[in-house]
Structure 1
Amino acid sequence: MIVKKILYLGTILMLSMLVLVGCSSSDDSENNSLKVTMISSVGGINDQSFNQSSWEGLEQIKKDFNIDVNYIESNQEAEYSTNIETAVDGGADLIIGTGFPLQGAILEAAKNYPDQKFAIVDVDYGEETPENVVCITFTEEQAGYVVGLVAGKKTTTNKVGFVGGMDNEVIKRFEAGYKAGVEEANPNAKVQVQYVNSFVDAAKGKSIAQQMYSQGADIIFAAAGDSGVGVIEMAKEKNLYAIGVDRDQNALAPENVLTSAMKKVNEGVYNTVKAMIEGNYAGGTTLRYGLEDNSIGLAPSTDKNVSQDIIDYVNKKINQIINKEIEVPSK
């Protein structure tokens, strides 16, 4: 049934709090034997995006619960299944795949190893979700919408851009939300769209950005993993603006990154592992994070380059979304 497939952050946190009551020091020794292995999608652990954010969640869980965490980097999609096999052979209690490209490999492995626990970021298998898989998903359209509002208000040329990584469901939701946000804030603004067809081609991302800027765009939102770093580099060279994704990417170009479409993958990963540690592994379900639990939104650094009146405008729209007064399109 669909009803059992969707859980929200509040439910997970309540379960976690209940179990934490009365914990003793013996829990640490039990946790020492737990092992979590992350399989990165292409882009690697330092992609400045969702792989890196996922690993940060595991690093934090290690600090808080003293468990064994490690990762296996994937250099190409052909390595996904082999890397998962390596994690199974290595005795991982939980194997986490990061990113939509891993959806097929994780699903196949879950069926081949029904006693192995899995989780996957950015994938919802719906009714086909195996009982040994937790799906960690986000409302990317909402994240795209809020940065689209910023772009619509901030542009001076009425031309903005969107650079996507791979043309998949997750990035399409970012695109749809971004377009809607730009239009809401500035009906006169036009959005140029182009895909890199890679999450790891910073050079091509930079080339696409150069073309968009030369055609009059003054702000580009890059939802492209490591390819988006090239967009930010070009924004810096042109002294124009870029919008980051997943993590706060302002540090890459402090004067040129307006904001970032925050998607707290680290928290989703952290909460999933924490639930497993506490005996509440939610296999067969989809965890969905959004504006209502502050798991997505504008980056903390937004006030560096965006005026308070625009931030206030965006916050008003966020409240309207949370209150179901605005429905953000996902496609």
Structure 2
Amino acid sequence: MKKSLMAPVVLGALALALGGCATPPAATTAAPAGSASPTASVTASDYKACMVSDSGGFDDKSFNETAYAGLTKAVAELGVQKNQVQSSTDADYAKNVQAMVDDKCDIIVTVGYKLGDATLAAAKKNPKIKFAIVDSDYIDPKTGKNTAPANLKGLMFKTSEPSFMAGYLAASLSKTGKVGTFGGAPIPTVTAFMDGYARGVAYYNQQKSKSVAVLGWDTNKQDGTFIGGQSPFEDLPGGKKVATNLTAQGADILLPVAGPSGEGALQVAKSSNGKVASLWVDTDGCISQAQYCPVIPSSVGKAMDLAVFEAIKAAKNDTFTNELYLGTLANNGAYLAPFHDWDSKVSADTKAELDKIKADIIAGTIKTTA
């Protein structure tokens, strides 16, 4: 099992209301990782909130790390106790969830699509414990009905929306007329980014009468390029290899959707002497991957930290429900991050067009999925 925990991270730009689109409060900053003591103004509580990572671990500079920031925020602001366990392989999930059950946690938050089965089984077996899971839901695809038990809440994010904007941005910045994307594995929470990105490029082409190509994803076939293997989200050399292959084919703006493995794309971009850039996902890469900020035009973010915090808060306050939370552009649960070092490289026209695209997505005028 991994020993290291995440470094302090900045929380998502705006707080989320788990029930819908309420106006969020101002941004906050997470307490340092490993900080178990609440702030002086918060009364300590016996309530225990716990978390299980996927195999990326809490120091992945991506979604595990961001979700963990929500747990540390709950410690600092709600006075709850905490425990956490990091998974090293997929085989760890069920036993790690059970370890948190055995530790008498009041709410257990699991992180990642692949923990879906283990989380559901534990929730059914332990109805007095609250569960929340990041990046998974229990919506019946045929009926649209939420099949989650009363003590289990899915925390999902419509990443196709900001990914669509990222695709439009990438197409506007490309010098070669080719952009690329790749994933760790073909699972819905990965392909949603890739598909939205490709649709954003297609929209740019439509609006500008251009023909920017997308390497790594085919919207018609709903298939693309993936690292694969036993540990695709912990394979940095694999990520670098795929990124290198895409750039060799001419792609100059990349979107890696592969957790820590995606850093391989950042490495390729950094060593390209300005010829290649790479977006980041889940977090604002200029914060979580600050050393690569000069090659990151923007990032497709998910405010998982605040979704996790609100789930813990609701459980502690006895207002918890199994209603699915869906983070969107409209409720600031999904977002396109600032341009940072690239601000001067993004034209005023493109910025205005992205603002319009965001408004149209929120209004339903632009569809980001099939």
Q: TM-score, normalised by structure 2?
A: 0.80
Structure 2 SS opposite 1:91: coil
1-structure distance, mates of 2:358, 2:264: 29
CA 1:39–1:182 in 2, change beyond 3 Å: closer, same or farther?
same
Q: 1:150 aligns with which of 169, 174, 195?
A: 169
Change (3 A) 1:252 1:100: farther
Shift of 1:44: 0.6
Mean CA deviation greater in 129-138 or 303-312: 303-312
Structure 2 residues not aligned, in runs of 5+: 1-17, 26-40, 140-145, 217-224
Q: How many residues align?
A: 310
The partner residue of 1:291 within 329, 335, 338 is 329
Alignment of 1:274-289 (within 5 A): 274-282=313-321, 284-289=322-327
Q: Return the letter of the residue paired with 2:192.
A: R
Quick check: 1:180 aligned with 2:199? yes
Whether 2:352 is the aligned partner of 1:316: answer no
Question: Separation in 2 of the partners of 1:134 and 1:319?
Answer: 29
Q: What's the secondary structure of 1:300's corresponding residue?
A: coil
Alpha-carbon distance between aligned partners in 2 of 1:85 and 1:295, rounded to the nearest angstrom: 29
Structure 2 counterparts to residues 1-331 of structure 1, below 5 A: 8-10=19-21, 29=43, 32-126=45-139, 127-186=146-205, 187-193=210-216, 194-197=225-228, 198-239=232-273, 240-250=276-286, 251-282=290-321, 284-302=322-340, 304-305=342-343, 306-309=345-348, 310-329=350-369
Task: Give the deviation of 1:308 after TM superposition.
Answer: 4.5
Structure 1 residue ranges, 4+ long, deviating more than 4 angstroms after superposition? 11-14
What's the % identity of the aligned pairs? 30
- Cα distance in 2 for residues equivalent to 1:13 and 1:248: 19
Shift of 1:300: 2.8
Amino acid at match of 2:267: E
Identify if the C-alpha distance between structure 1 residues 301 and 153 changes in structure 2 by more than 3 Å, giving closer, same or farther: closer
Q: Give the AA of the match of 1:119.
A: A
- Give, in whole Å, the separation in 1 of the partners of 2:303 and 2:22: 17
Relative to structure 1, the CA distance from residue 146 to residue 256 in structure 2 (aligned partners, 3 Å threshold; closer, same or farther) is same
**Contact 1:235–1:241 (8 Å) recurs in 2:** yes
**Partner Cα distance (2:285, 2:24) in 1:** 28
CA contact (8 A) 2:130 2:315 kept: no
Tell me the SS of whatever aligns to 1:292.
Answer: coil
Alignment correspondent of 2:35: none
Aligned letter for 1:221? L
Secondary structure of the corresponding residue to residue 161 of structure 1:
strand
Q: CA deviation at 1:232?
A: 0.8
Please give the alpha-carbon distance, in whole angstroms, between the structure 1 residues aligned to 2:173 and 2:42: 50
Per-residue deviation, 1:141 = 0.8
Aligned residue type for 1:144: S
CA contact (8 A) 1:12 1:275 kept: no
Q: State whether residues 294 and 341 of structure 2, in contact with CA within 8 Å, keep that contact through their aligned partners in structure 1.
A: no
Distance 1:267 1:85 in 2: 25
With the length of structure 1 as denominator, give the TM-score of the two structures: 0.89
Q: Which moved more, 1:197-206 or 1:74-83?
A: 197-206
